[in-house]
Amino acid sequence: MTGYALRRLGVGVLQLAAITVLVFVVMRFLPADPVGRLVGFTASPETIALTRDKLDLDESLPDQLLIYLGLREGDQSPGLLQGSLGDSWNTGAPVVDQIAQYLPVTLELIILAFVAALLVAVPLGVLAAVRGSGRLDAGIRFYGLFAGAQPEFWWGLAFIFLFYVTWQVAPAPLGRLDFLTAPPPRVTGMLTVDSLLAGNLAAFRDAAAHLVLPVVTLAFVLTGPIIKMVRQNVAKAMASEYVLYARGCGLPTRQIAAYTFRNSLAPSVTLIAILFAYMLGGAVLVEQVFSLGGLGQWAVASVLSFDFPAIQGIVLVITVGTLLVLLAVDLLHARIDPRVAR
């Protein structure tokens, strides 16, 4: 088991290196002009040359990569191996600090959204599979298809229009707290957690209220694919011979469903993990609509302003997150089914 975990971890590090280099090279090959964006298009040739030098863009591609990795001295040093992701070309702030600021926002949003989506989608998926081919099954499938095919940013706006503009029961979609609420001292960066740790119930209520609509919006579109996966996997298990045997023995459907649920859990967990990893960057639309200031929004701003170090840092943190989630799932599988680890 330990050997398997280490082997998987090693492969993960190689993947991370491959993706880091890939993004590094792709960004520099595409026809983007970060210097022009930074100094303006009317800047003098000297300014442009100076900026290019400061950003190491006058170095050859392999040299730029070596500097980024921290294997060579350059203006952009220190590099990755010295534990630095560089400074943002836009704000000058260290990329690491910005990750620490934005990542918890996204994590808080997607963790809550996944919990909400699973609470709704798993029972519905199991129900649809167990009841097979009835009106209930058709209804749940219809809902799943619909939810999985929706533009979440538009639903977010629709919810804002109904609950904030029309009925005025939701807070303004302008961030994570009201202007008048003092934020709790920063521990995890997730406001709901930090406010509870500080025992600040007013801040907790405010943070939670600001999260309701974003979480509901994201959870709504997530229920689509989750219902489909759970339903398919449970239906497959329901068609197996041990279920036929259990039926033959006269066991009640409820009990049979409980058996199949455990057996169909494993494949569902993998797909849900992949979906979760995708949401690290994919939650951007909901973040944008509710101005939450998460990782995705920062990614959009960085890409639009050609902020290479920031983009590189974002790709790195999302890739690490993805690899960790997939690793955790694989280890979980190996735990459930020892044949996997061999």
Partner 1 sequence: MTGQAVPIAPPTPGRWRAAARARRSPLLLLGGAIVSVSLVLAVVGPAIAPYDPIEPTGDVLVPPPALGDIPSLIAQTIGGSLERPVHWFGTDQTGLDIFSRVLAAPQVDVLIGVAATALALLLGTTLGLLAGYFRGRSAGFIARASDVFQSIPIFVLAMIVVVFTGRSTMAIIVTLAILYTPIYLRLTASEVAAQAARRHVEASRAIGNRELVTAFRHVLPNALTPALVQASVTIGWAILFTAGLTFLGAGVRPPTAEWGGMIASGANLLILGQWWPSLFPGIAISITVFGFAVVGDRLEARFRG
Interface residue list for partner 1 (CB under 8 A): 11-12, 15-16, 18-19, 22-23, 26-27, 30-32, 132-133, 141-142, 145-146, 148-151, 153-154, 157-158, 160-161, 164-165, 238-239, 241, 243-244, 247, 274, 277-278, 280-282, 284-285, 288-289, 296, 299-300, 303-304, 306, 311, 314-315, 318-319, 322-323, 326
Q: Is the peptide bond before 123 cis (omega within 30 degrees of 0)?
A: no
The residue (of 119 and 174) whose beta carbon lies closer to partner 1 is: 174
- For the CB of residue 142, give the shortest distance to partner 1 in the complex, in Å: 7
Tokens of 266: 């494993």
Min separation Cβ 93 and partner 1, Å: 19
By beta-carbon proximity to partner 1, the closer residue of 38 and 311 is: 311
Nearest residue (CB) to partner 1, 203 versus 226: 226
Nearest approach, Cβ of residue 155 and partner 1 (Å):
8
Smallest gap from residue 332 Cβ to partner 1 (A): 17
Compute the least distance from the CB of residue 263 to partner 1, in Å. Answer: 16
Helix residue spans in the chain (DSSP H): 2-29, 34-39, 45-54, 61-69, 95-131, 135-148, 152-159, 191-197, 201-238, 241-248, 253-282, 284-289, 295-304, 308-336
Query: Is 67 or 235 the residue whose CB approaches partner 1 more closely?
Result: 235
CA distance 168 to 186: 30
At its nearest, how many Å lie between partner 1 and the CB of residue 341? 17
CB atoms within 10 A of CB 29: 9
Of 19 and 251, nearer to partner 1 (C-beta) is 19
DSSP 66-117: HHHHTSS--TT-S-GGGT---B-TTT--BHHHHHHHHHHHHHHHHHHHHHHH
**Which CB atom, from 105 or from 203, has the smaller least distance to partner 1?**
105
Backbone dihedral region of 212: left (phi > 0), alpha (psi from -120 to 50 degrees) or beta?
alpha
How far, in Å, CA of 288 to CA of 279, rounded?
Answer: 14
